[in-house]
Structure 1
Amino acid sequence: MTTTIYHNPACGTSRNTLALLIHAGIEPVVIDYLKTPPSRDELVAMIEAAGLTVREALREKGTPYAELGLDDPSLGDEALLDAMLAHPILINRPFVITPLGTRLCRPSERLLEILPKDGFSSAFSKEDGEAVLDEQGRPMGR
């Protein structure tokens, strides 16, 4: 099975997650979900596999969330999914699917939950310099 990332190249968290995958020696399938959004079935499957609710997978910042009235708690999953599919920017990112599971990788370190534990042998830092892995490839602060 391949590894897939639903990626937004304009998003720092998404870029950090992709860089961490590459650092692990993984060449993922990269889907720019703004250009190629998932189908409804794919989106539902990702959300469920990640253990999230539809509302938890909805992005507010930098989206038409407020303008569309999506903060209305009476809106059900179907209405939220309709909005996410009509406006893919509303899909939170990045979603990553590996043979070990699916996660919404916010923060990017969530990726470590679905990668082999022995997948790293060197340090890794985010774009902003925050260390994620030490010199031996072990997660920082864990």
Structure 2
Amino acid sequence: MAKLIFVNLPVSDLSRSIAFYKGIGATQDMRFSDDTAACMVFSDTIHVMLLTHEKFSSFTPRGIADAHETAQVLLCISADDREGVDAMVSDAAKSGGVADHSPQQDYGFMYGRSFEDPDGHVWEVMWMDLDAAMKAFGEQSAA
């Protein structure tokens, strides 16, 4: 069985966050959702758990960082192509996020952009041509 990942994010407004994540292509799994949490599914293996601050605090004694001010993680998700990168970032902006939190990256074989969700969590979206990347890295190693 493939390993699953569940990214747990504290959110200040659960309904707003559900709408945002639906806006960027996730679907809500109602089996793991209630008035304190929502399971948002990107694929069979990638799930984002949106947790109210109270619910999130029940899992850790540590304080919740203000993601608009500090960063603990940078999340990255792949896209099928360059257009998919642009579409997800555009959808994020239309859904209440901030597009291009970090500078765009374009290396030819790899293309990436970023966005912030309404709570300030930073997501990077990237596409990579693996064969071209391996060739480029091989050429760099030989130099």
TM-score (structure 2 length as normaliser): 0.32
The structure showing larger relative contact order (alpha-carbon pairs under 8 Å, at least 6 residues apart) is: 1
- Structure whose alpha-carbon radius of gyration is higher: 2
